[in-house]
Structure 1
Amino acid sequence: MRPRADGAATSRTGRARKVNVRQRTPQRWGAAASGRTLAGERIDLTAAGATEQEARDNLLKKFEVKVGGSPTGLNADSTLHEAAQAWLATKEPGLSRIQPSTYNTYKSLARRLSVTAGAVKLSRLTTPLVDDLVRREWKSKGPAAAKAMRKTLSMVAKEAIRLGAIPYDPVDKASPLPAAEKRESSLTAEGWCEVITAMEQWRGRRTKGGRAVAWVRLRDVLSVCLGLGIRVGEALALRWSDIDFDDGSVRITGTIVQVTGQSVFRQPHTKSRKDRFLPMSALARATLSHRKQTQPSSRLDAVFPSEADTWLAVDRIEKAMRAFRDATPDLWERLDIPLGDVTTHLMRRSAATMVERAGGLGLASSLLGHANEQVTRAHYVTTNRVIDSAAARALDVFASAYDR
């Protein structure tokens, strides 16, 4: 079969001259290219793949590793799509230290950038254009999407700078995004009791029909998240070996991850990559003790296994939470909690707020595993609008002006 050639020949170092792709068998393609390293040394590389595109991609990745330069010949005339793919190639788990879940997020960001502005040439990537792209994303998708677009543009631009395609990062001088509105909702003890009562009355019935939600499991997961101040992924990653009922402590050692095209798995470290040893609250102890007595044993030693005794996906609990929220709008209106705030993360935010008011910001930050207290204050602890009377007593000193 005749070979196919891709890419113009060039004598510049750090680039492949051209990529030749040939179909070897009905299920196998081969790719070959020659080029020079950044030091001017000639190299010849080959690669294979199940498809033409896979063979080409494997060759270009190999060239990237060999020379540390751009195998695609990225330059000012290259498009944002091409730059995004060059950046993404440096983030693959086999070539970098990032986790598969993070790489999956990067793929989604690159895909969104390609859809939005993939045809834009790097030579036209100016600061006003960045502002326009981010503003459009804000209007169409919201503040979180706009922040992700800006971050992606910056990472892609920095990779283009590294490869010599553009001289500066146009995102650096772009207009700052407005600060995201802080979620102020949290549950009180009385509010939590109302939630449990409503859940027991709901019993997993869907408003639009369909199979009932596993409401007991949802209740237990939320109780553990609230009673320990942990993320839902960390709760679902709990193993019985992590729990010491005698000592009254729980060790947080991992989280649940799901990567597109792969099964759900337990990642053996948390978001911060540091284990946490948490004291068991009465709520957490009661919930875990009851599950220990009533739940069948799991081959994974999982506290919250799926029906097939596999690790339970976070999405399963999130969907159950949305079903409960949609079935109980009057509850959340009575509790003065916007429906947009009714997620599993409400439990962690409520725990942080309660601990901060009882023991201070430092204690709440330690419970959540944050690197600093600013993160806890900015995103988790809600503002106490009922001010302690001690503040008024402190200001009483100024009353002496009326005694004269």
Structure 2
Amino acid sequence: MASFQKYNTKKGQMWLFIIDTGIDPETGKRQQAKRRGFKTKKEAQQAALELEQQLANGISLNHNKLTYQDVYEEWFSTHVKTIKISTQKSIESKFSKHILPRFGQLKLRDITKTYCQKVINDIAETINSVNDIKIQANQVFKYALKMDIIQKNPMEHVSIPRQQSEFITEENEKDARNYWKKEEIRNFLTLTKQELSFRDYVFFHLAIYTGARKGEILALTWDDIDFKSGSIRFSKTLFHNKGQFIFQTSKTKESRRLISLDDKTLSLLKKWRLKQKEWVMAKGIKSDYKELIFNREDGSPIRLAYPNEKLDIVIKNHNLHRITIHGLRHTHASLLFEAGASIKEVQERLGHSDIQMTMNIYTHVTDTLKEQTAQKFQKYIEL
């Protein structure tokens, strides 16, 4: 039951209330809450009623003192037990670089929708993956809501600003294209065969002909190839953390997939396996990673950044259209569509868990495929 009192200030009389908030679980002592600064007794009574309702709903007054950093640490200590090391490292990076510097020291209950929108707007000006930052920041607010630390989630209705790259004009459409067309691929493979080691040439050939992620390819072992049936199994991925190489199972069941290989790719892999064996025997290499298809001179796994570096060198030296390593994956998908593969076939080959991911690539297919659409319609309607 709240008690109410008048008190004098320089601006005149004001009202306060005192309310018994129960036993402090940490000290075992009874505690009271005092709130001041109400112009009328009616205002004080309304505030006391709201506080009593919060206490009745199990909301602790100690929650008022919690900062975003406090709740993040509580949430992450539990969440980290449910995720892989690679995911853990990625989340920690996002929080340390983008989220905690902006939210960390603020009391959670003082964070408003307006402030959250401002933060997301600011981040959107510096990085493209702002939606991922919002998702991670929102995890803490959702946890706080579940634990009755806050009553409303200020991040819930925050919108993501559109990136300038989304407003593609004819002038910058070419630069925005993160895939190569058929002739560009042929040129690139010719250059890599001439200028790179045979191992690196086989790596890029395999990336282009399977559409696999670089971490999946660098984690491949020879028992993942079935030369008799002409197939390759992707079931793991390579991750580098604190100086150690870690092989993780693929994140989703769709990522763990068995796909077919063409005769040319199988022939290249056979040739590389023979060269690798000769090379290992000649150097007397003894390594825990000797079964890897792609390894370094000492037998250890290849750095994840290595393919990026080699790709950038070839692009720069020959003034090629710039794409990323992931762009080779988009290239494989685009050329599959050109070759007549269905969306479902592309989804299964790339290991997409959601067909919407495949559809997003399909909306950016090459000009050649777009031109074929009209031809297909004419051919069908005139039959």
User: TM (normalized to structure 2)?
Assistant: 0.72
Is the Cα contact below 8 Å between 1:258 and 1:264 reproduced in 2? yes
Is the Cα contact below 8 Å between 2:121 and 2:161 reproduced in 1? no
CA drift of 1:103 comes to 0.8
Counterpart AA for 1:124: D
Task: Tell me whether 1:152 sits opposite 2:152 in the alignment.
Answer: no
| Aligned counterparts, 1:5-404, within 5 A | 12-13=24-25, 17=26, 75-92=63-80, 96-112=81-97, 113-139=99-125, 141-144=126-129, 146-178=130-162, 181=166, 184-200=177-193, 202-203=195-196, 215-259=197-241, 261-267=242-248, 269-274=249-254, 275-296=256-277, 297=280, 299-300=288-289, 301-328=291-318, 330-332=319-321, 339=322, 342-357=323-338, 358-379=340-361, 382-383=364-365, 384-388=369-373, 389-393=375-379
The whole-number CA distance in structure 2 between the counterparts of 1:218 and 1:80 is 46
Task: Please state which structure has a larger fraction of its residues in helix.
Answer: 2
**Unaligned regions of 5+ residues in structure 1, if any?**
1-9, 19-33, 35-69, 204-214, 333-338, 398-404
3-state SS, counterpart of residue 153 of structure 2? coil
Is the Cα contact below 8 Å between 2:178 and 2:327 reproduced in 1? yes
Is the Cα contact below 8 Å between 1:188 and 1:350 reproduced in 2? yes
3-state SS, counterpart of residue 323 of structure 1? helix
Percent identity over paired residues:
19
Is the Cα contact below 8 Å between 2:112 and 2:154 reproduced in 1? yes
Cα offsets for 1:128-173 (capped at 9, x unmatched): 111100000111x2221x2232112210101222332211211111
Name the larger-Rg structure: 2
The whole-number CA distance in structure 1 between the counterparts of 2:64 and 2:207 is 50
Cα offsets for 1:191-239 (capped at 9, x unmatched): 2121123335555xxxxxxxxxxx5433221111111121111111110
Residues 80, 326 of structure 1: CA spacing in aligned structure 2 closer, same or farther, 3 A cutoff? farther
Q: How many residues align?
A: 309
CA drift of 1:320 comes to 2.5
Is the Cα contact below 8 Å between 1:265 and 1:311 reproduced in 2? no
CA drift of 1:380 comes to 6.1
User: TM (normalized to structure 1)?
Assistant: 0.69
Counterpart AA for 1:148: D
Counterpart AA for 2:184: G
Is the Cα contact below 8 Å between 1:229 and 1:368 reproduced in 2? yes
Q: Aligned-residue CA RMSD in angstroms?
A: 3.0
The whole-number CA distance in structure 2 between the counterparts of 1:319 and 1:351 is 20
Residues 350, 282 of structure 1: CA spacing in aligned structure 2 closer, same or farther, 3 A cutoff? farther
3-state SS, counterpart of residue 295 of structure 1? helix
**Unaligned regions of 5+ residues in structure 2, if any?**
1-21, 29-58, 169-175, 281-286
User: Which segment is superposed worse, 373-382 or 97-106?
Assistant: 373-382
